[in-house]
Amino acid sequence: MVATPYGAVRGRMESGIAVFRGIPYAAPPFGPRRFRPPQPPEPWDGVRDAGAFGPTPPKPPYSEAFAKLLADPVVPGDDCLNLNVWTPEPGRGARLPVLVWLHGGALTRGSAAVPVYDGRTFARDGVVFVSVNYRLGVEGYGLFPDTPANPGLRDQLAALHWVHASIAAFGGDPNRVTLCGQSAGAISIGALLAAPQAQGLVRRAVLQSGPPEAFDRDKVRRMVRRMATRLKVPATAAAFAEVDRELLLRTQADVGRLSSPVLGGPSFGLVVDGDLVPRDPLEALVEGDVARGVDLMMGWTKDEYRLWLVPGGLLERVDRLGGIALAGAMARCHCGHDVPRGYRALHPGAGAAEIVGQLVTDHLLRIPLQRLADARADSSYVYEFGWPSNLPGLGSCHALELGFVFDTGDVPESRKLAGEGAPQELADEMHAAWVRFVVEGDPGWRHWDASHPVRMFGTDGPSIEHGPRDAEIALWAADAARPDEPPTATSPGARGTEIRSVVRRLRLPGSVRRH
């Protein structure tokens, strides 16, 4: 039993680890609190049972194609702003390092209840592990004129404040907090590192396959307006709060069916709000003084794009489109013709889908993360995950590294993406690196410098490569230095036309559209 600021909670001992699930860090975000910033939970009398995962935030299910690969359990209930704690040594005085996990899922799916994110292995190795649920989709990232923006990010900030105030009672040190996340979780971390209200709450951060970024406000606003049109209500938080929750989720899934990193389209994301996100987070971290002294570890998988293109046969469709798909990628990435030409020269055996996928991955992910590493070189460490899944076509895809980082390859949900026979020695290496970074601030390889050292986690054992992506990234730098090309590749209208043309020609099956 542990006391929190709002009441006592009773956990469970599981294989020598004390586990507390479903602890509220904020009040249920419904009724008068819907679409509003989080509020503190109501204190409770007696002892609250913390033996089971709490409710998960409202979210649409994955499409059939993606559900075969990604687990996303649903726990019903309104009290969805909750977190979980795994600790080897509950009680004040232990002062152990703390890892706070923010899950991915494109800010529309995912939860802290995914079995791959079991914190037992980190607690086994002397780390107090905390995983957080936060609002998703329109509930967490809808942009309305009558409520503050980014309520989902505000949830995460509230959870961080809870950790700072409460984690000592669970054996953690509030001054040794590492914030770690993948995909949308990593994007959120970038914004939190740059947020004025979060300064001093984080000692270290791990960004896996997600860069600091802010979405264009019009892009997010279009999602809300399209939903409002379908629902026949005003595009306001007050009107959306009156809509049945399940209908809202179905409408969100339908309107966002073409949203993906490759295809673009309107989607939910963090926006600059002049308050919690006062400016673009990447620019704030690269150019400003925020989060100085925070150690950073960041990286990506070799074939991120394959999770976005392989399910439902989209990769084969892109290959068949060839030059049309490449034109769409140029429009998506705002680059000139020399960039895809350079990629073809560097990868002469690659098909159109691989070129498109790597173009988009570099533009959206690797280049921003390398910019951040360049700006924070003395305290940054970079990795690349390159082990290919045992499932056909997935390669080293987005999210595949998670079962290795958590050392949870033994759970069925990890095998959904990795297949059978994932190498335990690779999990030992990756998990040990993450633990070492949380404990010491040094994952075990040289920090970033002019030689661009990257720790490669793959099939050939431990290795360091210097500048493995430098040739591709140099193409973008050269492209940016050229005079603007004709508007066919760069103007907003042309970009929209190119992307819509590719989407029409892809004839996406329903299973992929709904993802």
Domain boundaries, the chain: 2-514
Average pLDDT, stretch 1-13? Answer: 97
CATH number 3.30.70.1880 is the correct assignment for the domain at 2-514: no
Summary mean pLDDT of the chain: 91
Q: Compute the 3-state secondary structure of the chain and give helix, strand, coil in percent, each to the nearest 5.
A: 40, 15, 40
Residue 320: C-alpha distances to residues 13, 191, 325, 350, 478 (Å): 54, 38, 9, 13, 29
pTM assigned to the model: 0.93
Checking if the pLDDT of 505 tops 80, the result is no
What pLDDT, on a 0 to 100 scale, did the predictor assign at position 261? 67
CB 259 within 8 A of CB 267: yes
Find the mean pLDDT for residues 233-238.
Answer: 97
Given a cut of 70, whether residue 289 has pLDDT beyond it is yes
- Rounded to 5°, the CA angle 188-395-446 comes to 60
Which residues, 6 or more positions from 486, have their beta carbon under 8 angstroms from its beta carbon?
Answer: none
**pLDDT digit string (tens) for 156-170?**
999 999 999 999 999
463 labelled catalytic: no
Active site residue 398: yes
Q: Is 84 left (phi over 0), alpha (psi -120 to 50) or beta?
A: beta
Catalytic residue among 398, 431, 447, 452: 398
pLDDT band at 316 (very low <50, low <70, confident <90, very high): confident
Q: What is the pLDDT of residue 333?
A: 87
pLDDT at 481: 87
Tell me phi and psi for residue 328, to 5 degrees: -65, -40
pLDDT(500) > 80: no
Taking a C-beta distance cutoff of 8 angstroms, is the pair 324, 331 a contact? Answer: no
Query: Would you place residue 264 in the very low, low, confident or very high pLDDT band (cuts 50, 70, 90)?
Result: low
Of 378, 384, 350, which is closest to residue 466 (Cα–Cα)?
384
How many angstroms from the chain centroid is the CA of residue 227? Answer: 24
List, in sequence order, every residue forming a beta bridge with 13; answer none if it has no partner.
18
pLDDT exceeding 90 applies to what percent of the chain?
82
304 is catalytic: yes
Which amino acid is residue 100, in one-letter code?
V
CB 436 within 8 A of CB 444: yes
Which residue among the candidates 304, 354, 472, 498 is catalytic per the annotation?
Answer: 304
Which residues, 6+ apart, have CB-to-CB distance to 450 below 8 Å? none
